[in-house]
Amino acid sequence: MNQEKIMKRRMITAIVLMLIAFIALAVFIGLYIDETRRVQETYRSQYMTELKHASEEIGFFLEPEGDHQLIYRRASSYVSSANSFAFLINDFADRQKVINELNTCLIKYPEQMQERMEEVKTAIDHIIEDLDKGYDELEAVIGSIDLKGN
């Protein structure tokens, strides 16, 4: 009989410890999911911030005065930074591709892109306003680039 009581206590202790471990696991999973969501929000806000900076620089580029080459490089670097953040955002594959192609065109084909900066600014402004047509507009600009040219 004494042996039976010891076994019951051990089983109750094991069940209690198992429940505590299960609750702790559930809490850690919840904290992980919450932190992942928070990090994704940070990446999205940084992505939008970089696009806003790029739009502002392109606006300066479109003005008749100023060092256009320097302003173009700054706008290109902001798009490059936005491209980096776009690759960190989950479920963003199609948009990542468009931003990556824009970044590539800005780097490889500056002469052609400088002629289309007004269209790029309009498209980026539409993206900042959370309009999906901005990505379509960027695809149209990228499609108009002669990839075999300079």
Domain count, the chain: 1
Query: Quick check: is 132 in a domain?
Result: yes
pLDDT digits (tens, 9 = 90+) for 91-109: 888 899 999 999 999 999 9
pLDDT for position 52: 95
For the cut 90, the answer to whether the pLDDT of residue 2 exceeds it is no
Residue 150 is predicted with a pLDDT of 58
What does the pLDDT look like over 3-45, one tens digit per residue? 888 999 999 999 999 999 999 999 999 999 999 999 999 999 9
Domain assignment present for 97: yes
Structural domain includes residue 27: no
Res 92: pLDDT: 87
Please name the residue ranges forming H helices in the chain.
2-62, 68-86, 93-108, 110-115, 117-128, 133-143
How far is CA 73 from each of CA 41, 69, 81, 131, rounded to the nearest angstrom? Answer: 28, 6, 12, 26
- Percentage of residues in the chain with pLDDT exceeding 70? 98
pLDDT in tens, 42-59: 999 999 999 999 999 999
Spatial distance between the Cα atoms of 27 and 22, rounded to a whole number of angstroms: 9
Asked if residue 3 is part of any domain, the answer here is no
Fill in the DSSP letter of residue 16. Answer: H
Range(s) of the domain holding residue 108: 42-143
Mean pLDDT, the chain, as a whole number?
92
